[in-house]
């Protein structure tokens, strides 16, 4: 084949895979935001207090946590394309169960949330591994922008939820229609994914690491997982509690509360879209420090500000700050392609503990202190995450630089001896 034609075909294949990856991330975000945008109606229908809402959200997170230890080996065996195709059907089934359970039988709603969380755990790992493959192929940071696609899906889901809430469209009809859309559209989108070619031989260092205990014992991988946990807690708290906090604290309507949720998600989306620019200027550790600081300040403004406008401003700053931590930790964990699936599985598993711990933690605290004071825990967690920023350094780049430095020293000829040394 003509080299120019081959290069053009390669570029088209890559561009198509990038677009498909954006779409799959967006569909995943749409799935989560669709049911979350109707959470106030679900709360009222099931007559739940804050602690009970926390336990409801816990079901979703536990489903993801159960799936994640299996997700790395699963994706490594069958590849991201087949993995996403398989679990998209389970995502659609979970949403359909939520819709049916809301209308007919609440226990079915609980089962649907658990199934949705389980499928989302597999989906997260599969699409992150494919996104990391594209990052390596193109040689630049793309993970934050792929997660911006996820956030754009959540914004679309939240805005649609706000509109349909205002129009009094039935909850079950809304969620059921989105379930059908995801089930049909996702298998079409993943057809453009790159072929799954990751293998131990592709590792730049010729090393292997099987998914399992060895990945869990790597200190850097665990540190990246803790970063993911902190930012998952921050993002999950915003996604789950912003709307309810605005409604209860400022005594406003469900539609306004959903708009606050949409504002939070919009900030997350913009923060992730601009993330590669921030990473390019500050590096991954610097970008994490800036993000954590912004999120900490935003939470304080959201929970302690005097009026509704400060609540919206705080939600925007909180969302922008919470945007980068999770995708940057996955990107850092995927530096070595041969170990990407195992490490992403571990990082995501630890990160999901934020979703597991968050709902009961905030629900229990809210029953004692109110939602707004309880959310100050997020500010404390963001401050603590600053100590882990160094784990995001590009280890392969550091290793290459050390190799270059070593080779330079070895190839430098020794300095000639002074034939007339200075006498003491």
The pair of three-digit structure tokens given for residue 304, joined into one six-digit string: 């302690």
| Between residues 281 and 408, the one the model is more confident about | 281
pLDDT more than 90, % of the chain: 9
Binning pLDDT at 50, 70 and 90, where does residue 401 land?
very low
Distance CA 124, CA 130 (A): 10
* pLDDT, tens only, 113-151: 888 888 888 888 888 888 888 877 787 778 888 888 887
What residues contact residue 53 under an 8 Å CB cut-off, 6+ apart?
A: 39, 43, 240, 244, 359, 363
Distance CA 77, CA 74 (A): 5
Look-up of token digits 């430095």: 405
Q: State the alpha helices, DSSP H only, in 47-142.
A: 50-103, 106-138
Write out the H or E segment, with its range, that includes residue 272: helix 254-273
What's the mean pLDDT in 99-124?
A: 86
374 within 8 A of 249, measured Cβ to Cβ: no
* pLDDT, tens only, 347-398: 877 887 776 677 677 777 877 777 778 888 889 999 999 988 888 887 655 4
What's the mean pLDDT in 399-405?
A: 43
pTM above 0.85, yes or no: no
Binning pLDDT at 50, 70 and 90, where does residue 214 land?
low
What residues contact residue 85 under an 8 Å CB cut-off, 6+ apart?
A: 186, 187, 190
- pLDDT of the residue at 231: 92
- pLDDT of the residue at 133: 80
């Amino acid at each position: 084949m003509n080299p120019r034609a081959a290069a053009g075909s390669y570029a088209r294949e890559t561009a198509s895979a990038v677009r498909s990856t954006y779409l799959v991330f967006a569909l995943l975000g749409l799935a989560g935001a669709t049911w979350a945008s109707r959470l106030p109606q679900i709360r009222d229908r099931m007559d739940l207090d804050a602690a009970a809402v926390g336990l409801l959200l816990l079901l979703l997170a536990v489903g993801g946590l159960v799936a994640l230890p299996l997700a790395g080996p699963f994706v490594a065996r069958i590849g991201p394309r087949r993995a996403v195709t398989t679990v998209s059907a389970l995502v659609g089934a979970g949403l359909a169960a939520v819709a049916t359970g809301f209308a007919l039988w609440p226990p079915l709603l609980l089962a649907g949330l658990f199934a949705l969380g389980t499928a989302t755990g597999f989906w997260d790992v599969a699409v992150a591994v494919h996104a990391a493959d594209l990052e390596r192929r193109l040689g630049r940071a793309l993970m934050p922008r792929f997660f911006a696609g996820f956030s754009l899906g959540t914004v679309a889901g939240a805005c649609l939820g706000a509109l349909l809430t205002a129009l009094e469209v039935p909850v079950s009809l809304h969620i059921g229609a989105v379930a059908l859309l995801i089930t049909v559209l996702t298998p079409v989108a993943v057809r453009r994914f790159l072929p799954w070619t990751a293998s131990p031989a592709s590792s730049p260092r010729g090393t292997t690491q099987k998914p399992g205990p060895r990945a869990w014992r790597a200190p850097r991988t665990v540190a990246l997982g803790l970063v993911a946990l902190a930012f998952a807690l921050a993002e999950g708290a915003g996604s789950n509690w912003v709307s309810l906090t605005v409604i209860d604290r400022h005594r406003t309507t469900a539609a306004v509360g959903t708009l606050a949720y949409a504002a939070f998600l919009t900030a997350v989306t913009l923060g992730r879209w601009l993330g590669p620019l921030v990473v390019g200027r500050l590096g991954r550790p610097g970008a994490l420090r800036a993000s954590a600081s912004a999120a900490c300040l935003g939470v304080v403004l959201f929970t302690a500000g005097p009026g509704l406008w400060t609540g919206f401003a705080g939600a925007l700053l909180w969302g922008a700050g919470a945007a980068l931590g999770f995708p940057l930790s996955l990107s850092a964990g995927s530096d070595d392609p041969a170990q990407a699936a195992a490490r992403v599985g571990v990082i995501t598993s630890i990160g999901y503990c934020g979703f597991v711990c968050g709902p009961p933690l905030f629900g229990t605290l809210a029953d004692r202190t109110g939602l707004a004071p309880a959310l100050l825990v997020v500010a404390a967690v963001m401050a603590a995450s600053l100590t882990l920023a160094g784990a995001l350094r590009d280890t392969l780049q550091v290793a290459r630089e050390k190799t270059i430095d070593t080779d330079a020293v070895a190839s430098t000829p020794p300095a000639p001896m002074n034939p007339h040394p200075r006498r003491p």
